[in-house]
Structure 1
Amino acid sequence: MEWILLNDQLIKEEQLTISKEDRGYQFGDGIYEVIRVYEGELYTMKEHMDRFYESADKIKLVIPYTKDVLHKLIYDLVEANEVVNGYIYMQITRGAAPRQHQFPEQASPVLTAYTNLVERPLQGMRDGVSGKFAEDVRWLRCDIKSLNLLGNVLAKQEAIAEGCFEAILHRDGTVTEGSSSNVYGIKDGTVYTHPANNFILNGITRRTILEVCAEVGVPVRETAFTKSEALEMDEMFISSTTAEILPLVSMDGKQIGDGTPGATTRKLQQGFERKLGLKTPVHV
């Protein structure tokens, strides 16, 4: 049985119990992070930790541990489960209290975290994936990595039901992000992506990709583009902690560019690998 982190203790999975009145369960009143593990190392842990605390501040939730203490707890969890390649899911809720919409006067936040083993999605990174446009019906604070993901779930399911990998969300025709990813277009060698405001989550992998663009000499414009402009892009790709850089080769059944992963996307994949020191290359 795997080890689970419950508050500041490692326990066996079968020992985990959560109150029926936990506000994460009843209201989605909490936040989360997903952190990648490569070769036993925590990828961009500082950036994930900073965003975790920033999200907590935005919903007025006080995390009862310092960043250093929480970092050590997560590291111990990875070691206990002997994770080589995988990810950590961690979340914190406002805690358990009699059900009422306003914040409870007395409640202790509940932190949980677990690990999963998963390899890099090399096949999709080499061949590309398909996407489907979906109306972005989520709330207006997508910059908070909250537990309220029903809009994302419905969009993702709509895409999967039609044989697509990802739902590409738009507000009145303006592309925002994917249901579980950030999204990018490439035109004439320049990368376009929605600015990091309240309409998108500023992904940690997104931030790394922008650094890679600077390192390999690929211009970036943080400018929103429309659905019709997306279909005219030379290349598109999506990114996330677990997906890395996935070429998007078709949208709504229409091919992007020539329908294969493009040269700029491959260049960024290689730059990403170099930056992280990954040992298994996408392209050999």
Structure 2
Amino acid sequence: MKIIRKVAMSYVYLNDEFVKSDAAKISVFDQGFLYGDGIYECFRSIGARLYHFSQHYQRLRQSAEALSYALPYNQRQLEEVLLELRQRNALQDAYFRITITRGRGEIGFQHDLKSALTCVIIAREFRGFAAEHYQQGIALRVAQIRRNAPEAINPKIKSISNLNSLLGKLEAKAVGAFEVIMLNNKNHLCEGAASNVFWTKGGWVFTPSESTGLLEGVTRSTAIRLCEEHLNLRVIRGEYKLQDLLCADEVFITSTSLEVMPVIRVDDFTINQGVVGSLAKRLRAALHQDMELSGE
């Protein structure tokens, strides 16, 4: 006899309403669907506290201003919506994604850009990644595709039009790698498809600078602060070549979902004899402590 298990119904927030997720719909004429004309932001809550939400909101507003969006909610209003959505979905530590598009329009680029925005907020329980990844480390692929040039697409816009990163992810999947490292159009190290990269050499910590065209991740800035203020390590930002990474003592990547993920292999190069370095462990522990102590 087939056993049917009931699945708890979740909610999303869609254009000023809490809607059951299977009933949430947007128009086929939505400009985000047709043209990738939209922005997004992902972040977490620790219990009922939104972790570093003010930084995520400022980046959302920065993206909105770059695309001439008038955000429909201020920070306090969004916080209230997020916490209500967390409660409706009975979440403990939540992972949120806010997506805002230009809304319903017409086919072609001559339509009115003043249409009402579409706003969707999704919340689910944060599950993270398997412990073995942090214990054993991961492999990275150096992507053949290059990161979008900042002269072409402003990296300060966190856009839903993310084909560049998707193509990088497909490269990683094809060779069984966890993530890619992308170079920019000047052959400098830039970032992962959905992460920022760090490495150590001789007691120093290095990471690509904003001038390379990377997206300035909130977790990246937190990692830099924790290294300098809590671990007494100076972080040097600059324009680096791939060889700098391959000669590293230790490599790790960061993001909201990855936290601090250790890397033991880049293509065919083994990092630190294939052993997870101590800094990645210490920095992740410091990040967890920061989450627990955060007043946001």
Q: Which bin holds the TM-score, normalised by the shorter protein?
A: over 0.9
Tell me if the contact between 2:105 and 2:111 (Cα under 8 Å) persists in the aligned partners: no
C-alpha distance in 1 between matches for 2:248 and 2:212: 25
Pair 1:138-2:153 in alignment: no
Q: Is 1:6 the equivalent of 2:20?
A: no
Deviation of 1:97 after TM superposition, in Å, equals 1.0
Moved more, 233-242 or 59-68: 59-68
Return 36-45 or 26-35, whichever deviates more. 36-45
Q: 1:230 maps to what in 2?
A: 245
TM-score by length of 2: 0.89
Matched, 1:164 2:177: yes
1:31 aligns with 2:39: yes
8 A Cα contact 2:62 2:156, kept in partner: no
Query: Normalization by structure 1: what TM-score?
Result: 0.93
Segments of 5+ residues of structure 2 without an aligned counterpart are 1-8
**Matched residue of 1:265: which SS?**
helix
User: Once the 2 structures are TM-superposed, how far is the Cα of residue 68 of structure 1 from its aligned partner?
Assistant: 1.2
Tell me how far 1:252 sits from its aligned partner: 0.4
* 1:33-69, Cα deviation, whole Å (9 max, x unpaired): 1111333432111111111111101111111222211
CA deviation string 1:97-131 (max 9, x = no partner): 11222562441001001112232323322221110
How far, CA to CA, are the matches of 1:156 and 1:209 in structure 2? 23
Corresponding residue number in structure 2 for 1:71: 79
* Cα distance in 1 for residues equivalent to 2:260 and 2:204: 16
1:187–1:142 distance in 2 versus 1, CA, 3 Å: same
Deviation at 1:82, TM superposition (A): 1.3
Q: CA RMSD in A?
A: 1.6
* Matching residue's letter, 2:137: G
Runs (4+) of structure 1 exceeding 4 A deviation are none
Q: Contact conserved, 2:40 with 2:98, CA < 8 A, in 1?
A: yes
Following superposition of structure 1 onto structure 2, how do residues 1-284 of structure 1 map, counting pairs within 5 Å? Answer: 1-102=9-110, 104-121=112-129, 122-134=131-143, 135-140=145-150, 141-171=154-184, 172-197=186-211, 199-215=213-229, 216-277=231-292
Contact 1:189 1:264 in 2 (8 A): no
Aligned length: 278
Decide whether the 8 Å contact of 1:232 with 1:257 is kept in 2. Answer: no
Change (3 A) 1:143 1:53: same
Question: What 5-or-longer segments of structure 1 have no aligned partner?
Answer: 279-284
Aligned mates of 2:102, 2:275 — CA distance in 1: 45
Determine if contact 1:192/1:224 at 8 Å carries over to the other structure.
no
Match of 1:282 in 2: none
